[in-house]
Structure formats: structure tokens, C-alpha cells
Structure 1
Amino acid sequence: MPSSSRPRVSLHSVLTAVSSKPVGSGITHPLSALDHAMALHTVHLIFYYHHNLFGSFDLDPSRESLSRVLSLYPMITGRFTRDTHGNWEIKCNDAGVRVIKATVDTTLHQWLQSADGSQEMHLTAWDDMPHDFQTWSPFRIQWEWEDLQINEFEGGGVAIGVSCSHMVGDLTWAFSFFNSWTRFHRHLPLPPLSHPTPTSNSNSNSKQPPYFAAATSSASPNKMPIMGTATFKFSTSSISDTLRQLHPNATPFDFLSALFWTRLCRYSSSNNITHSLSICIDSRKLFNSPLPTSPANAFHFSLLSVDVRDMESSQVGDIAALVHNHLEAIKEDQILSTLDWLESQRQLGGGKYREPSQMYGPYLTCVCLDGNGRERELESSLIYGAMFEEGEKAVHVSCHVGNVEGEGLLIVMPSPEGGLARTVTLTLPQNQLALLCQDEAILNLQPTMLLTPTLHVSQ
């Protein structure tokens, strides 16, 4: 496997895509309390397609459809600035979205089988906010072409990387934007973009949510471990066979989050009396909102803790039941209480929002991009229905969050195969990732592993 220090991605050009409808002068997009809370993180999506779907982006209709969809998202083409209280907002000045064109010196199949997570990040364009942040684009698109001269796939392949600051939007929002672009490209109507959304009552008496309290109290000054990433794909048959042995209402997310959590607890060196799992869900589901969705950030974080002795004596099915019951107990009032508390910090701070939190960490965080029933169909359609040509679904979609620390991150999402098949993307300390890649309980499910680094278990 090639070293991650020698990426096989060559950048060729940078151009700017602008909205087809200019924004009026002086319009700004203020960021919410939850947007500010996500400031330490970034969002990265990569869509892999078997065939080169476009010609030259400079002249291709895809550039026109991108300009059209950008007219619905004026904050994407703007630039960050600060208001009078020092809070972030986006100046909608039509500065445009940067589109980077690049080539990859291997075939799509070879890339998915041999590249690792650090190499894959070269498929997304991102850099840290500079000192002069008013010139910094909050949204990037990277257009990656497989080199047709050495591509074993007829017609080649393409990977499109999308990146943004998490303050601009969460993973669901980013999927929604990309899906809207492909629908415009195919001249299809968009689902409604407006609907009821959770709002804060600005209650200054709201109590600090347990997740924020726990995350603050567990902050550690110790040097953070080097993180690695890997992707596991589980088939419908392996998931369905397991679910038949669990609680009748257990979902693939219940099982997979419990499986990886219990296995990682075996490798933990923590002296805590409890094991804790941070569960992240899209709160839009609790407010009966259709997709695509707004507001831009609507992820809700909660904490599930289990006594160390109980964890050691429990089966995966027992922990899956705890995860299921925990999710069932999350109601609208908890979401609103969190928003109220975040907003109350602004009042206490004289108009300035609180400093951002390490949301994805320090506890193991598990993100659920996986619903039940109709929700599951909608989410799978949102991800794999993003087609620039009818019937040309993405063969793989990678989903990452930047600046993950602590115990790491698991993202559970549908797979292109449909059904109960699931894709799990891990961002973990490298030593624990190496152990998981060799874990018998996981390998017994015969997952396909993609974009997995060569890791060595330290003794």
C-alpha cells in the first residue's frame, strides 16, 4: 500500500462557481447558538461514481445546475464575518464556491481497496480558517477525475468531494445540498425546503444538558492520540441474521453501535467507573420534518452511560436494547431544552455565544444516519439518490467529520446495496483501530473493509 505521505491526487486548477441569482446588497446570515457550538468541526462528503459523468466542468451543464442550486443557498457563496457582539455570521456577498479539479493516478476500484483515510482526505478541499477570515470560503467542492489512461473501468470514474465548516451545516444538510444539485442537473423538482423547525425559547433558567456537562468535565490536557479511519460494509444478510436474535424492535443502528462500543470497551485503558457513549441523532426527525431539511445544524447529542461491571457482564444484545431505549426516550422537550441552554449562554455572555465545544468527543461518539421505516427510505434516497444521470448511483459514499478527538467517532449510514446493509465509518485512535480491524466478533460478520490503513498493534 502506498504511503499516505505520497498522495496520489494531483490538483490541476481552481475555479469559482457563482449563484445564478445574485443576492441583494447587505444581506447577512446570522449563525445560531448550535451553529456556534459546532465551530471546531468540519464536514466532508465524497461521492464515488463508476463513470465519468461530465465533460469539462468549465462548459458542462453541471456547472449551470450548480449555479442554480447555489441560488437557494446564498450563505454557501458568502464569507464569514463577525457581528457587533463578536458572533459569527455569513455575509452573503456572492463571492462564490471554489471548485478544484484534480486527477487520481489509479482506478476507482484500486483506490477503494488500497487507499487509506488520510489519502482519501486529499479528495476533499479544505484548509483552516486564515487570519483574514473574510476572504475564506465556508464551502468547497473538489472535482476528482480518475486518470483514464490507467483506469481499468470502461469510461473511467469520478469522485466528488464536498467540504464545509460544521457551522454552515451538519451531515444531513450537506447531503441535502448535494442531492438538490443532482436533481437540478436532471431537471427534477426539489422537495419543499421550508417546514417547521425547532426554535429556542431563550429560557435563561435552562439547565446545562448532561452531554455538555460531561464533555466539559472530562476534558483532558494530555496529548491526544493519532487518529486513523476505516470503513466497514455489512451486508443485509449479516445484519438480518443478527437482528433475529435481538429485541424484535432492534434496528441495525442499535446493533452496530452496541457491537463497536462493547468491543472498544475491551481495549479501553480508562479507569472510569462507567463507559459512556455519545449518541448523535438528527433532531429533525422528532419534529416530523420532511427531507431535505433545515435548519443547517440540527444534530442532537446525548449521553448513555453504563457501569463498567455491567458492560463486562452484558451481551451485545443487552447493550443494543439500552441504545434502543435511550433513543426512544429522546423527545422534543429535550431538544428544545438544549437549544434554550445554548441560547441562554449568549445572554449570560453579554450577547456573545459561549466558546465552541468538542462535540465529537471526548467520549466515543456514534452518529445515526439511519432511520426506521419511511425515515430509512428517505435517508437512503437522500444519499444514494444523488444521481447526475438516471440510474447512475454512487458506488460508495464516504462521510467524515473533521477534528475528532478523544475516544473517536462512528458513523452508521445506509449502504448502496439497500435493505439492511450498513456502512460504518470509524475515526479512532490508531492502536484501537488496528485491534478492531482484527476483532473476531466483527470479522465473523464478514464485513467488507474499504479505505483501511495498514496498522500495527502496539504491544
Structure 2
Amino acid sequence: MGRVTVNSRLTVVSSKPVGPGVTHKLSGLDHAMGLHTIHMIFYYGNNPATSFDLDPFRVSLSEVLSMYPAVTGRLIRGEDGNWVVNCNDAGVRVLRATVRTTLDEWLRSADGAEERDLTVWEDMAQDPTIWSPFRIQINEFEGGGIAIGLSCTHLHADPTCATLLLKSWSEAHRREAIAHPPFFHSSALRGRPVLNTKTKSANYYAAKSKAKPPSVKMAATTFRFSDSSIKQCLEEVHESCPDATPFDLLAALFWTSLAPMKSPAPDHKHSLSICIDFRKLMHAPLPYGYFGNALHFSLLSRDREEIDNGRLGHVTGLVHEHVSSINEEECQSVIDWLESQKGEGGKFGAPFRMYGPELTCVSMEHMVIPRGYAGMFKDAKPVHIACHVGNVEGEGLIMVLPSHEEGLARTVMVTLPEEQMAKLCKDQAILRLEPTVVACGRQ
């Protein structure tokens, strides 16, 4: 029997009813992400003497949901066969659970599979009009401590959206202005009159849509790197890559550690799929609060010998150069390619595995961490953040997130085939940075 027990379930609707007939069309990028789900967990410390009362949280959540009609709505099929959110304010499922251990002990001992118990999820029902695509779970630990879990379909939103929804809720609870209000419409995410599908990115998505990654048993481990260890390592690679970011460094570190464990492709190359948020890459930048998918996947490939034998500084430079080369046209061409895949009547093509088949590394460097809720979580940053993506297959997933520690500290969540994870946890190149390992084990 698990350590997490769900004690109650309720539905929270917005404090201001949505007007009749309001709908939200999902973009081609949204449809492409349809096989995946997002599960985010924000852990907060708490005064053990504080008595937890859900009612104030429910009131502030109801207020902020008035700004998010696409979150409280339900999926329907439009006339063209594409998914549309019927903004009928059917509400968000909110669960309350208790955890039979302390927060500190949980972070020391919980594995990836158990951590998912903090974000109970139900796959889409046969009738989606009665199914809530967003779920919030509030988990209380023994002796104080709270974990807020948010699960949603990747069809609706990306991790940035999920984080900002929690951030807006905390701001509403503290009676502050919403710093990044949601923005639901953008012409930039539609195909152009003249489609450009002749780019590296468009070709990569075309290949990805046909790939059939093997399904293997996966394991998950979280590494937390301190500010001092990242600074030291950046100094070591400075001569090779003076402008390296923590993401460049960590992507290179894990890629070079994992590459020797993987069989090279028939062309004798090692490949890394790099995922970034493109909100600020557009000529007319998307607002940070844009609600929908704004992720771009691109492929970095090099000869096997270059990666297997390359120094960390050299590979860091390769990652940095690749990320710096991603521009608006590459991102827009993917939107054009998705548009070109529409069938008769304008229906988008079937979704496919976006996180894979190659080893995929996701940058969340831009992520704003929501502070605690006034009077309940000491108005502080979370003590830990976790982000899981559902239905990951292929060579694995690396997510680089900000840490609760100030400065350059980073949290790296890794999902790999089990046998490779066992080797990675003993890798000396990673261990020399003395990371703290959190919530490790099976997925």
C-alpha cells in the first residue's frame, strides 16, 4: 500500500461564469503533443503548528480560474475534426491527500513512480465532455509540509503554462496583481499563406512523426546541483565556451555520460534532441503568459568519436552553438509543416512521440518559480520542484529546471531505461559535482 491517501475530491469552478458559446481552438502544436501529459509538483515547507484549511485556497483558486476559461472547460470535436475546448466552466478537479511520512523523508526515499501519486491522473474518458483535463492535488505531509501537484494534458498546455497557472494562483491568494496573465490567441502559431517546410526542423518533425521508439521499462532520478558546483564547472569550460549557460553545460555533461551506453545510429552518429521554449524567439514575441504549447524540438548530431572522446568544454560549445542558432524561421517552419499535414476537411495529423526517439534534453531555464502562499507556506520559494512528462519512450528524457537555491543551481530530472540509469548514477563525471539525489528509482 502506498504512502499517499486521497481523502477528498471536489470540483472548483470560476468565480465569474463564462459567457455562452465561448470556445478555445487548439493549435497544430497542441495537437501534435496529444500523446503526452504533464505532471508538476511544487514542494513547500510549512510551520508544523499551522492548521491547514482548504477553504481560502479554494476561494483564491476560483478567482484565478475566472482568467483561465480553457482550464475549466471540456474537450469537444469541432466541425473540422480538431479538438476544441468548450469553455463551459465545468471546473477543475481538486483532490486533498495525506502522506504518511515527513517531507524530508519523502524527498530522500520516494522514487519516480511514487512521486506520481502526488498528482493522481485519469486518462481521457470515452466521453471527454465529462472529463477534467486539469487536476490539482494538495498533499499534506506528517509534521508539516505541503506538495501541490498539477496534472494536465500536453494537448492543452506546456510546462510553462502549468507553472504560471500555479504562480497566478499564489499571487491571487496573496492579493497581488497577476504578473503574467494568460494570453489565449496568437496568429503566429498558424500556418503562413506560403508554407515553408524545407528546413532542418521541419524535416526532423517529419521523421519524428514516423518513428516507432521501443517501449522499455524506464527509471527516473533527480539530481540537484549547487550554485557553487555549476559555477566551478562553467569556469572549467570557459576557454572552450565563454558564453555557456547552465543548460548548455548540463546537456553536454549528461549527453557525454550517456552516449557510450547507447548504440550509434547507422550513420555512426550520436544525436541529442533539444527542446526549448520559443515564446521570445518570435519577431513579435509571444507574451510569457501565452497559454498553449510553445516548445520547439531540434536535432543536434555529431560523429560518434567526437562525442565519445570529446572534452566537456567542446561538447558544451556544440550545444551552445546549436541552441543559439535556433531562430524564428525554424520554429515557424514546424508550424507550417503541421499545417501541411492536415487531411480532408482541415483535420490535423495524428499526434506522435515528441519526447524521442532520440535522447531529449529540455531547457526550463526561463521558468519562473512561484512563491509560497501567504500565511501558509511562509511566502517562500518551493524547497523542491518536479516535472514529469507522461508517455516518454525512446532513449530517455533530461529536464533542466531552476532550483530553489539562488544563483546558478539547477535541478536535473532524468528518465532512462532502467539498466542505463544504474550506470548513470555511478558516472564519475557527474558525481564529481557532488549532486544531491532526490526521488530516485523506477518510473
The equivalent residue for 2:369 is: 383
- Opposite residue 294 of structure 2, the aligned amino acid is A
The equivalent residue for 1:3 is: none
Structure 1 residue 335 displacement after superposition: 1.3
Decide whether aligned partners of structure 1 residues 319 and 214 sit closer, same or farther in structure 2, where only a CA change above 3 A counts.
farther
SS in 1 for 2:346: coil
Measure, in 2, the Cα distance between the counterparts of 1:443 and 1:71.
47
Q: What are the within-5 Å matches in structure 2 for residues 185-204 of structure 1?
A: 185-193=173-181, 198-203=188-193
The equivalent residue for 2:205 is: 212
SS in 2 for 1:255: helix
The equivalent residue for 1:264 is: 258
Matched, 1:86 2:73: no
Of 354, 357, 362, the match for 1:359? 354
Of 225, 229, 237, the match for 2:220? 229
Measure, in 2, the Cα distance between the counterparts of 1:141 and 1:206.
40
Q: What are the within-5 Å matches in structure 2 for residues 62-77 of structure 1?
A: 62-77=57-72
- Opposite residue 206 of structure 1, the aligned amino acid is N
Structure 1 residue 420 displacement after superposition: 0.8
The equivalent residue for 1:122 is: 117
Measure, in 1, the Cα distance between the counterparts of 2:325 and 2:158.
23
Of 133, 141, 162, the match for 1:138? 133
The equivalent residue for 2:154 is: 166
Q: What are the within-5 Å matches in structure 2 for residues 42-441 of structure 1?
A: 42-51=37-46, 55-57=52-54, 60-147=55-142, 151=143, 156-193=144-181, 198-203=188-193, 205-207=195-197, 209-220=202-213, 222=214, 224-246=215-237, 247-272=241-266, 273-287=268-282, 289=285, 292-346=288-342, 348-371=343-366, 379=367, 382-385=368-371, 387-389=373-375, 391-441=379-429
Measure, in 2, the Cα distance between the counterparts of 1:12 and 1:194.
31
Decide whether aligned partners of structure 1 residues 37 and 216 sit closer, same or farther in structure 2, where only a CA change above 3 A counts.
closer
SS in 1 for 2:341: helix
The equivalent residue for 1:375 is: none
Q: What are the within-5 Å matches in structure 2 for residues 444-459 of structure 1?
A: 444-453=432-441
- In the alignment, structure 2 segments of 5+ residues that lack a partner are none
Q: Say if 2:7 and 2:95, in contact at 8 Å, map to a contact too.
A: yes
Decide whether aligned partners of structure 1 residues 192 and 133 sit closer, same or farther in structure 2, where only a CA change above 3 A counts.
closer
Aligned residues: 429
Amino-acid identity (%)? 49
Decide whether aligned partners of structure 1 residues 439 and 408 sit closer, same or farther in structure 2, where only a CA change above 3 A counts.
same
- Which digits, 9 at most, give the CA deviation of each residue in 1:11-53, with x for residues without a partner? 1110111100101122211111111001000111101111167
SS in 1 for 2:70: coil
Q: Say if 2:108 and 2:438, in contact at 8 Å, map to a contact too.
A: yes
Q: Say if 1:203 and 1:341, in contact at 8 Å, map to a contact too.
A: no
- Opposite residue 398 of structure 2, the aligned amino acid is L
Decide whether aligned partners of structure 1 residues 67 and 200 sit closer, same or farther in structure 2, where only a CA change above 3 A counts.
same
Measure, in 2, the Cα distance between the counterparts of 1:267 and 1:250.
25
Structure 1 residue 210 displacement after superposition: 2.7
Q: Say if 2:218 and 2:442, in contact at 8 Å, map to a contact too.
A: no
- In the alignment, structure 1 segments of 5+ residues that lack a partner are 1-5, 372-378
Structure 1 residue 125 displacement after superposition: 2.0
Using structure 2 for the length normalisation, give the TM-score.
0.92
Structure 1 residue 312 displacement after superposition: 2.1
Decide whether aligned partners of structure 1 residues 444 and 384 sit closer, same or farther in structure 2, where only a CA change above 3 A counts.
farther
- Opposite residue 202 of structure 1, the aligned amino acid is R
Measure, in 2, the Cα distance between the counterparts of 1:350 and 1:70.
33
Q: Say if 1:202 and 1:340, in contact at 8 Å, map to a contact too.
A: yes
Measure, in 2, the Cα distance between the counterparts of 1:351 and 1:248.
47
Structure 1 residue 119 displacement after superposition: 0.2
Structure 1 residue 332 displacement after superposition: 1.1
Structure 1 residue 392 displacement after superposition: 2.4
Structure 1 residue 7 displacement after superposition: 1.7
Measure, in 1, the Cα distance between the counterparts of 2:148 and 2:316.
35
Q: Say if 1:42 and 1:401, in contact at 8 Å, map to a contact too.
A: yes
SS in 2 for 1:75: helix
Structure 1 residue 211 displacement after superposition: 2.2
Measure, in 2, the Cα distance between the counterparts of 1:310 and 1:166.
35
Structure 1 residue 285 displacement after superposition: 2.3
- Which digits, 9 at most, give the CA deviation of each residue in 1:418-445, with x for residues without a partner? 1011100011111111111111111111
Q: Say if 1:210 and 1:302, in contact at 8 Å, map to a contact too.
A: no
Measure, in 2, the Cα distance between the counterparts of 1:441 and 1:213.
35
SS in 1 for 2:136: strand
- Opposite residue 394 of structure 1, the aligned amino acid is P
Decide whether aligned partners of structure 1 residues 388 and 8 sit closer, same or farther in structure 2, where only a CA change above 3 A counts.
same
Decide whether aligned partners of structure 1 residues 349 and 228 sit closer, same or farther in structure 2, where only a CA change above 3 A counts.
farther
Q: Say if 2:4 and 2:97, in contact at 8 Å, map to a contact too.
A: yes
Structure 1 residue 215 displacement after superposition: 1.7
- Opposite residue 371 of structure 2, the aligned amino acid is G
